[in-house]
C-alpha cells in the first residue's frame, strides 16, 4: 500500500484522531504533516498569543510522534501546493485530514479535495472536532437553529460516539522522509518577549490537556455550577485552548465526565457535570452558527445592527485594551488577558459589555483584540461571544441589558481577590471600595497608596450617563427600522 499523508491542523493529538486512525488502518506508511498557511486562513490568520501556543503544541506533537517511530513534517505556503509536492516526493496516493468549520477553511478544503480526486488520488476528511457536525443538525423547518435551548435539546437526542483509540503503538513510516522545515523556521514565537506570563500559566500539548481534564474532573467539576462564575476561584476547567488546538477532543471530555456518573442517561447525575457539558454544547452551537452564517465574524446576524451608531475613539479603545478604564473588575480582566492569554468567562462578558455599551465601541473592535491576545482564540466562539454581548447575534443578550461593572464586581468578586491579583495598585484598598475606588475618601486612598488619575485612573465614563447614551443609541436604530 502506498503512503498516506495525515494533514494535521487544529487536531494536534494522537488519541481520538479519526484521520490518523483511518490512515493507519489503511495500511502503508503514514506521513504526518503540518502546513503553516496564513493565506488559507482568510481574514483570520492565527493571532499572536495563539501562535505562541501553536509553536509549543507542535513541539509536543513532534515529540509524541518520534516516541512512536514517526515524525512531523513542517511546511509553509499554500496547503494545496504543499500537499501536491509532498505526494510527488513520497509517492503518497492519499491525504486524510480532520474537518474544520471556518468559512475560509471550508472553501480551501473543498478545492483541495476536488483537485486531488480529479487527479485520481484519495482525499478523505473526518470529524474529530465536534460532537455534532453543523450540516447534520436542522430544526423542524429544515434550517439552522438560532436559539441554543432547542438546538441543544435536539442534539441530546442524538447518539454521541465514543473516543477513537489509536490502533497501534508505533506508526508505519516511509523508507525516506520528505524534506521538512524546522519548527523554528515557522517563526511562530514572538520577537518581543511579552510571553513569559503565558509560559508560567500554560503547558500546551495533548498530555497536558489530559492532565488538566483529569484534575478538573477529580476536583472542581462537582461544584462547577456553583463556582464557575467567580473569577477569584479556580472553578473552571480552563480546557478551551486545548480544545481549540485539538489537543483534546469533545468526545474525550464527554466520556470523562460520563465516566464519573452512575447514571446511564445522557447527562451525569451530578449537577456540576450537567452544567459543564452544557458549556461544551455552547461551543457546538457556536460552530453551528458560524457554519450556517459565515458572514458573522465581520457582520451582525441581526441586520438592523449594521446601522448602529458605534463610536470611534482610539483613546477609549486603548484604555480598555490596557486595563485602564478605572473600573477595577474590567481592568483586572483585561490585564489577566494580556499577561496570561486567557480571561475568566464571566469577566469576558463584563468587559465585552463595557466595551459595546459603556464605551459604545463596536463589537468587531473587541473581537479583533481577543483574537490577537487569547490563547484559545476560536473564530466560532469569539464571534458568538461578541455578538451575544452586543445583542446582535443569535440567542443574544438584548442590548438594553447593560451590566453594571460595579455590581458585577461586588457580586462575583465580593472580597476583591481577583481584582487585587491583577490590579495590584488597589491591593491595600478596603473591600468596601475595591470595586469603586472613586467613592473612597482622600484619607482612605492615601492610606492605600492610591492617587486617582496618577497611579490608577479615574473612570473613563460614568456608568449612569453611559447607560443612558447606550439606550438612546439603541432607540435610534429602532426608529430607523420603523416604517
Q: Is 177 a catalytic residue?
A: no
Which of 115, 122, 313, 345 is an active site residue? Answer: 345
* Among candidate residues 167, 168, 132, the one with its CA nearest the CA of residue 153: 132
Q: Is 386 a catalytic residue?
A: yes
- Report d(CA 333, CA 323) in Å as an integer: 7
425 backbone dihedrals φ, ψ, rounded to 5°: -65, -15
Q: Is 152 a catalytic residue?
A: no
**Residue for cell digits 503547558?**
203
Q: Is 345 a catalytic residue?
A: yes
Which of 53, 152, 338, 363 is an active site residue? Answer: 363
- Report d(CA 182, CA 246) in Å as an integer: 22
Which of 320, 369, 386, 388 is an active site residue? Answer: 386
Q: Is 282 a catalytic residue?
A: yes
Q: Is 279 a catalytic residue?
A: yes
Which of 41, 226, 282, 427 is an active site residue? Answer: 282
Which of 122, 226, 310, 313 is an active site residue? Answer: 310
Contact predicate 421/332, CB 8 Å: yes
Contact predicate 53/177, CB 8 Å: no
* Among candidate residues 430, 300, 419, 409, the one with its CA nearest the CA of residue 356: 300
Which of 41, 122, 222, 279 is an active site residue? Answer: 279
102 backbone dihedrals φ, ψ, rounded to 5°: -75, 150
- Report d(CA 142, CA 274) in Å as an integer: 28
Active site residues: 279, 282, 310, 345, 363, 386
Amino acid at each position: 500500500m502506498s503512503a498516506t499523508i495525515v494533514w494535521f491542523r487544529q487536531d494536534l493529538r494522537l488519541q481520538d484522531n479519526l484521520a490518523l486512525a483511518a490512515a493507519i488502518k489503511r495500511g502503508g506508511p503514514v506521513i504526518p504533516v503540518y502546513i503553516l498557511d496564513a493565506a488559507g486562513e482568510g481574514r483570520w490568520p492565527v493571532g499572536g498569543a495563539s501562535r505562541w501556543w501553536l509553536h509549543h503544541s507542535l513541539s509536543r506533537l513532534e515529540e509524541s510522534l518520534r516516541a512512536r517511530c514517526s515524525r512531523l513534517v513542517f511546511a509553509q505556503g499554500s496547503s494545496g501546493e504543499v500537499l501536491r509536492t509532498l505526494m510527488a516526493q513520497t509517492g503518497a496516493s492519499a491525504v486524510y485530514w480532520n474537518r474544520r468549520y471556518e468559512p475560509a477553511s471550508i472553501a480551501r478544503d473543498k478545492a483541495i479535495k476536488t483537485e486531488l480526486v480529479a487527479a485520481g488520488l484519495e482525499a478523505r476528511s473526518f470529524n474529530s472536532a465536534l460532537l455534532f457536525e453543523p450540516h447534520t443538525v436542522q430544526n423542524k423547518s429544515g434550517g439552522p437553529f438560532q436559539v441554543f435551548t432547542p438546538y441543544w435539546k435536539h442534539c441530546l437526542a442524538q447518539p454521541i460516539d465514543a473516543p477513537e483509540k489509536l490502533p497501534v503503538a508505533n506508526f508505519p513510516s516511509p523508507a525516506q522522509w520528505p524534506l521538512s522545515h524546522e519548527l523554528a523556521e515557522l517563526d511562530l514565537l514572538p520577537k518581543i518577549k511579552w510571553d513569559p506570563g503565558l509560559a508560567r500559566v500554560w503547558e500546551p500539548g495533548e498530555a497536558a490537556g489530559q492532565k488538566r481534564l483529569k484534575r478538573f474532573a477529580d476536583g472542581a467539576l462537582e461544584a462547577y455550577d456553583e463556582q464557575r462564575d467567580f473569577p477569584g476561584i479556580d472553578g473552571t476547567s480552563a480546557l478551551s485552548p486545548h480544545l481549540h488546538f485539538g489537543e483534546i477532543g469533545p468526545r474525550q471530555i464527554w466520556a470523562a465526565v460520563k465516566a464519573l456518573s452512575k447514571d446511564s442517561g445522557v447527562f451525569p447525575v451530578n449537577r456540576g457535570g450537567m452544567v459543564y457539558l452544557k458549556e461544551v454544547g455552547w461551543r457546538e452551537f457556536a460552530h453551528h452558527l458560524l457554519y450556517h452564517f459565515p458572514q458573522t465574524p465581520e457582520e451582525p446576524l441581526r441586520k438592523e445592527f449594521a446601522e448602529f451608531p458605534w463610536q470611534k475613539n482610539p483613546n477609549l479603545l486603548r484604555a480598555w485594551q490596557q486595563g485602564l478604564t478605572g473600573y477595577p473588575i474590567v481592568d483586572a480582566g483585561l490585564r489577566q488577558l494580556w499577561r496570561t492569554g486567557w480571561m475568566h468567562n464571566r469577566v469576558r462578558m463584563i468587559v465585552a459589555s463595557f466595551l459595546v455599551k459603556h464605551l459604545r465601541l463596536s463589537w468587531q473592535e473587541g473581537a479583533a483584540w481577543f483574537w490577537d491576545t487569547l490563547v484559545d482564540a476560536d473564530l466560532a466562539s469569539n464571534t458568538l461571544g461578541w455578538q451575544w454581548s452586543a445583542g446582535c447575534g443569535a440567542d443574544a443578550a438584548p442590548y438594553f441589558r447593560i451590566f453594571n461593572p460595579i455590581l458585577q464586581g461586588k457580586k462575583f468578586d465580593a472580597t476583591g481577590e481577583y481584582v487585587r491579583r491583577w490590579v495590584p495598585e488597589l491591593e491595600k484598598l478596603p473591600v468596601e471600595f475595591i470595586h469603586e475606588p472613586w467613592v473612597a475618601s482622600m484619607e482612605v486612598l492615601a492610606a492605600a497608596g492610591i492617587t486617582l488619575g496618577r497611579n490608577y485612573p479615574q473612570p473613563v465614563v460614568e456608568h449612569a450617563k453611559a447607560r443612558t447614551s447606550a439606550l438612546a443609541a439603541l432607540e435610534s436604530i429602532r426608529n430607523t427600522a420603523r416604517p
